[in-house]
Structure 1
Amino acid sequence: MSNYRHLYQLIEDVFNKDGIRELCMDVSLDTGVDLQFENLAGDTTRRKAQELQEFARRNQITPELLQAIHRAKPRVDLTQFGGPEPNVAAPQNVEPDNGEQGAGQIAPAITPETVYENFDISIRPTGNKNEYLLEAESPYGETADSIRNLFPFDDDNYKYLANMLRDVQASKPKFANELGEMLRRFLFPPQIQEEFSKSLSSARATGKDGLRVRLNINRESNELYQVPWEFCRDDKAFLAVNDDTPLVRYMPTNRPPAPIKVPDTVKILLAWANPKDLVELTGIQNEIDAIQEALKDFTQTGKVVIEILPKATSAELFDRVSKNRPDIFHFIGHGDLDSSGGAIVLEDGGSGHVLLNGDLLLELFQGTNTKLIILSACQTGTMGEKSKKPASAQAFMGLAPKLVWGGLPAVIAMQYDLPDRAARPFMKTLYEFLAMGKPLDWAMTKARLGLRFAILDKPYWGIPVLFMRAPDGNIWA
């Protein structure tokens, strides 16, 4: 699947006019062909890029043009045009385009832009038991009327399948398939399925990569937040592991994410807590190792800095966040269903624990420009005699939407406890694609796919959930 239909689109995205001028000079020196920037028709960046592509085609020097692009932008992926593979560890100066980015700034690896249209499915209660109104909308059309549909909360088969998938030891792909069909029948009644198929075809025909399926669940319908929508199928496949149809839980607010440029260095704060009075976590180091491995090339070149906060207390967390203002905050540990709907569990400096709920987390991160929070419950779902606590994943699923409603751009949470052997491949792939500058929902789809193929006999890929209010999946402006 192509990310660009034409080479000129890539050139326009990663070069300004001065950059195209230098490309012309480089190709001329390399081939001896008289290629003058001034002779390219038009005065816009797009027109110059189009003329450059056409000139190279007519003069049979497209391979030399691709090599020149690679020399100037070694981290750009040119393989779909027959060019070199990207060198993601290479430093690269990103040129301003229409004044949006200052000269000389260094950004994460650039790959061809991934562009989706949005397909929004809104769900709100009718007031009748288990009955909801559904509406669908995309740039290509919308359902004529709201559609009433019953969710199968009382269906014994739904309860059975949901419980089997929640039990990570018992879960099987066949349960995911069966539940996915039930979810499809709710989300995609005939009118919405028809609109979806039409919109997906239109998106492909206009050069887009597909449709971003955004579930917009009414805030009053808390029961729907615990539904494992990530297992939903369309009429052909699971949405959440299909590059054409990334699935997000979309939470539009009247406070759009504050625009910030890609930082010179992406700062990640990775905090973990393992209080002695709770069930011991077993997969912390495994997850940390996976993240460090995924980002090794970027940390070595200074593009990413990972700060680890072990045995985190509330005071230490405040100190690190206020001083270093992380771009990404990743927490590994227990969650708790407190009276506010969810909290992370920190250590108290001794043998006990304290809770940090959604209100306190929002206070902690206000004004920091933190773009993503990851809440990872690794192997904490069993109820031990020592714990007497609800499952961490359930707590994080209550906490995540509150954080996004409160103003954070995006939160990733686990709707069930993610087994240790699944956390490593998922986190590794997620961070690899985030570091490459990919949209968050696209990176999530790839991470789910990576997990699916790493563990074929368990549908663990449906456990991670993305809550987001960024309209296009980009956490950077």
Structure 2
Amino acid sequence: MATQEYLDFELTIEALPNDQLRVTLANSPVGSATVDVPNPITPAEAERIIKILDGTRRVPRDEATRAVRVFGEKLFSAVFSGQIYGAYLASRAQAAERGLRLRLNLDKAEALYDLPWELLHDPSSDYLALSRQTPIVRYPRVIDVRPVVEISLPLRVLVLISSPSDQAALDVEAEWRSLQEATADLRQRGLLELERVDDAQLIVLQRKLRSGVSYQIFHYIGHATFDERNAVGMLAFESPRTEQTQLVSGEELARELVEQNSIRLVVLNACQSARQVHNNRFSGIASSIMARGVPAVVAMQFPISDEAARIFAHEFYRALSEGYPIEASVAEARRAIKSELGNLEWATPVLFLRAQSGVLFPKRRTFTERPSYGGLREALLRPRVLLGLAALLIVALGLVSLLSSLFGGLSAPTPASPSTPVPIIATFTPTPDAPRNVDLVITRVRFLPSNPAPGQAVTVAIELQNNGTSDSGPFDWVWFDTNAEAENATPALRGTVANLSPRAKTTVIGTYRFGWWGTYLTTAWVNPDNRAPESNIFNNFVPRTLNTGSEPFTVDFSRLPDDSLLEAGVLRGDEFDKWLLRMRVETDGNAECSAAVLLLTLMDDLNQITTGLPNAPQRCANLPVIFELSQPSESPRLRSVLIEFLPTAQGEYTLEVRAADNSVQRRETLRVQPGEVGVPKTLSVTLDGAARLALRVPENARTIIRRLTRTITPTQP
């Protein structure tokens, strides 16, 4: 009997305006968090992936495999970003062998509801849904959910087979045989019964469900479709008169199924039975059944071949019969499809689950039933073994008595006095302290995203393990963004672990932002000062190379290079030195503004750079801002700079390129009309390396700078 008691990692995906997503970690072993991220999936990308999976777009298998993997990694990087990725890694470590169940609530995801979320792919490992350690469960909000109740065996499965004469022929007999083969052992032992219904008509189903037999599972084999025009999922039942198709909506099927109060699982082995309109839970077949309180539904989000459907049913029921919970059984069935067919149909099944446990059918014990514990405990409870143990005990007592009579006089203590009881005191001889054996190693270093743009928040995850046989006690860890052996190298991230037990693992996490394009040789180091004395100090550091992407580098003045928040107030101008950017105010010889400074203000939830006097920010508010842009030697050259600003008056706004002597070499000018005041604008210039720029505004305007974006010349292959 296999057992799996999952820990939950519950995520809510919400679509926001301006193509943003809000990802909320509602429940996890390590807490909750909320992150707003750009939607990484364009409508064209989503349409392409869906067409590949539903077979309407034919591409070579290797091209489809690559496209699906890239899609899954983009989706993963968006959902598991920042604090949520850190929580995910920490939760995986805490869950260990118990497994981490990923619950997705997509009620507010709008158009993103239709995405194949089962393709979530961890760039450092695999598709989450393919492992029973990380099953993916759709977790819709449902008010009424039937509780899981104990049952008396056998477990009864009602199988409805629909094969209308006017539909493409399905190999329903092969699927029926697979069901029988997968459950043969259970049926022989009287633990499960399959009952087949060939007349796929609502009235037949209605009569069957009120026959007095308690069914726990309803399994449908047949055709289904999603009516795009009416936005409703339909099952292809059979007309009682013509045996041709009679379309039955998911709501109509759900109405009949909920009359049978014992049903806890519905399996819809039919194409597109998982689809629905995102804002109408009664539009889909599976969603209609869930909305009426059935705690678990397995359905298909795309067309599925006869062979894949057969393999899924066979492995799904076999895993259930072996004692796995439903989410683990679905994962096992996915892997069976992938290993036997080698295609992408493993992503077609969808599991909707509202029950707190995937063990939907706990067995009810009877008074005559003796619980089975297995192993040694089971053996010890057998009568023959108990008699043997009793005989051994009698012999042992006899030996003890004989030894006492022979040697008792040598060891018997003398009482202190006949009237004073002698206290019984436990004593022991201390043994010398065993030598400590601590061996701390770094087993993995991961970055997410793996190829970040400069300035983008990167989660650095370092997995540590104690290979020794003693507790480590407290120790430190550090991470360098450069070679740790370089001159003046200082850690970019650091932390302390209180203790690590023998063979135990833990994952430490930090956030970092790389300040330029290129290749970084980073180094992770555990126990650098040997705070925890080790048996082997030569395996304590791991170098890891990271290549940044070539995307533009945008500074929005919200965070500093060390990832701390930038607070409103006076700026020195060197806060972004690590990102090779320095700013200052140009007073143009104006004595009244000689004390002017850069100010950081907050407007419309955006940080922005302004100028003014420290105690009178409205004065000297129109001064030019100088940007000193440098770059490392032997690195990609700076190609262009774009500055986003907020015009506060009509007139000319100018971005100047200055020489070393501060003379103007060239300028770009934008004239703002009266109707454009208050609307963000941009000015950009092309460059060839390091530069000095100045932004000028009209005399009656205020200098308000929102973002600065740099690009580089692409590296030639």
Instruction: Provide the TM-score with structure 1 as the length reference.
Output: 0.68
Aligned to 1:345: 236
Q: Residue 123 of structure 1 aligns with which residue?
A: 13
SS at structure 2 position matched to 1:369: coil
Distance 1:200 1:137, change over 3 A: farther
Q: Which residue of 1 aligns with 2:311?
A: 425
How many angstroms does 1:437 deviate by? 2.7
Larger RCO (alpha carbons 8 Å, 6+ apart): 1
Equivalent AA in structure 2 for residue 230 of structure 1: E
- Structure 1 position 203 matched with structure 2 position 84: no
Give, in angstroms, the shift of residue 313 of structure 1: 1.1
Q: 1:475 offset after TM fit, Å?
A: 1.4
SS of the equivalent of 1:342 reads strand
For residue 66 of structure 2, the aligned residue among 174, 183, 200 is: 174
Q: Which amino acid aligns with 1:316?
A: V
Amino acid at match of 1:428: H
Give 1:340 shift.
6.7
1:288: which partner in 2? 176
Matched, 1:468 2:357: no
Alpha-carbon distance in structure 1 between the residues aligned to 2:72 and 2:325: 25
- Name the aligned partner's letter for residue 307 of structure 2: R
**Would you say the 8 A contact 2:274–2:300 is kept in 1?**
yes
Q: 2:161 aligns with which of 272, 283, 287?
A: 272
**Is contact 1:426-1:447 (8 Å) kept?**
yes
Contact kept, 8 Å, 1:313 with 1:347, in 2: the verdict is yes
| Displacement of 1:161 | 2.7
Q: Give the 3-state SS of the residue equivalent to 2:232 in structure 1.
A: coil
Matched, 1:415 2:322: no
Query: How far apart, in 2, do the equivalents of 1:160 and 1:245 lie?
Result: 26
**Aligned amino acid, residue 377 of structure 1:** A
Q: Matches of 1:359 and 1:393 in 2, distance apart? A: 13
Residue in structure 1 matching 2:269, options 353, 376, 384: 376
Distance in 1 between residues matched to 2:148 and 2:48, nearest whole Å: 44
1:194 aligns with 2:86: yes
Query: How far apart are the structure 2 equivalents of 1:152 and 1:409?
Result: 31
- In structure 2, the partner of 1:224 is 112
Partner-residue secondary structure (3-state), 2:175: helix
In 2, Cα distance between equivalents of 1:411 and 1:393:
9
Alpha-carbon shift at residue 460 of structure 1 (Å): 1.4
Aligned pairs for 1:315-330 (under 5 A) are: 315-323=203-211, 324-330=213-219
Q: Secondary structure at the match of 1:297?
A: helix
Superposition deviation, residue 139 in structure 1: 3.9
- 1:313 maps to 201
3-state SS of paired residue (1:434): helix
**Conserved 8 A contact 2:92-2:100:** yes
Distance 1:145 1:187, change over 3 A: closer
**Alpha-carbon shift at residue 113 of structure 1 (Å):** 2.2
Q: Read off the aligned partner of 1:307 and give its amino acid letter.
A: E
CA–CA distance in structure 2, aligned partners of residues 357 and 286 of structure 1? 26
TM-score in terms of structure 2 length: 0.46
Helix, strand or coil for the counterpart of 1:125? strand
Distance (Å, rounded) in 1 between the aligned partners of 2:110 and 2:266 = 21
Letter in 2 for 1:364: E
SS at match of 2:350: strand
SS for the counterpart of 1:287 is helix
Residue in structure 2 matched with residue 136 of structure 1 by the alignment: 25
Query: Measured at CA, do residues 451 and 419 of structure 1 come closer, stay the same or move farther in structure 2, by a change above 3 Å?
Result: same
Distance in 2, matches of 1:222 and 1:343, equals 21
Q: Which amino acid aligns with 1:322?
A: R
- Map residues 254-269 of structure 1 onto 2, 5 A cutoff: 254-269=143-158
Displacement after TM superposition at 1:435 (Å): 1.8
Instruction: Provide Cα deviations, 1:19-65, integer angstroms capped at 9, x if missing partner.
Output: xxxxxxxxxxxxxxxxxxxxxxxxxxxxxxxxxxxxxxxxxxxxxxx
Q: Distance in 2 between matches of 1:395 and 1:311?
A: 27
Q: Which amino acid aligns with 1:264?
A: L
Deviations, residues 299-351 of structure 1 (Å, cap 9, x unaligned): 12221111111141111111112223321111111224354722322111132
Shift of 1:434: 1.2
Cα separation, 2, equivalents of 1:454 and 1:224: 30
Distance in 2 (CA, whole Å) between partners of 1:440 and 1:266 is 15
CA contact (8 A) 2:34 2:84 kept: no
Q: Secondary structure at the match of 1:345?
A: strand
C-alpha separation between the residues in 1 aligned to 2:149 and 2:128? 30
Give the distance between the partners of 1:314 and 1:343, measured in 2 at CA.
13
- Closer, same or farther in 2 for the Cα pair 1:395/1:401, shift >3 Å? closer
State the 1:438 CA deviation: 1.7
CA deviation string 1:258-289 (max 9, x = no partner): 23113311111111212223x22322112111
Cα deviation for residue 247 of structure 1 reads 0.8
| Greater share of residues in helix | 1
Aligned to 1:452: 338
User: 2:221: which partner in 1?
Assistant: 332
> Secondary structure of the equivalent of 1:267?
strand
**CA offset at residue 176 of structure 1?**
2.4
Residue identity in the other structure for 1:122: T
Contact 1:250-1:468 within 8 A present in 2 as well: yes
Q: Say if 1:270 and 1:309, in contact at 8 Å, map to a contact too.
A: yes
Shift of 1:151: 5.0
Instruction: Give a deviation string over 1:127-178, Cα, whole Å, max 9, x none.
Output: x254331111444323443424315242x34432332122186454323212
Asked if the contact 2:8–2:29 (Cα under 8 Å) also holds between the matched residues in 1, the reply is no
Q: Is contact 1:117–1:203 with CA below 8 Å preserved after alignment?
A: yes
Which residue is 2:280 aligned to? none
Matches within 5 A, 1:37-52: none
Structure 2 CA distance, aligned partners of 1:267 and 1:216? 30
Question: Deviation at 1:115?
Answer: 1.4
Which is greater in Rg?
2
2:122 equivalent in structure 1: 234
How far does residue 392 in structure 1 lie from its aligned partner after superposition? 6.2
SS at match of 1:141: coil
Q: Could you report, residue by residue, the CA deviation over 1:377-423 in whole angstroms, capped at 9, with x for unpaired residues?
A: 26xxxxxxxxxxxx666479922122112211111111111111212
Look up the match of 1:163.
51
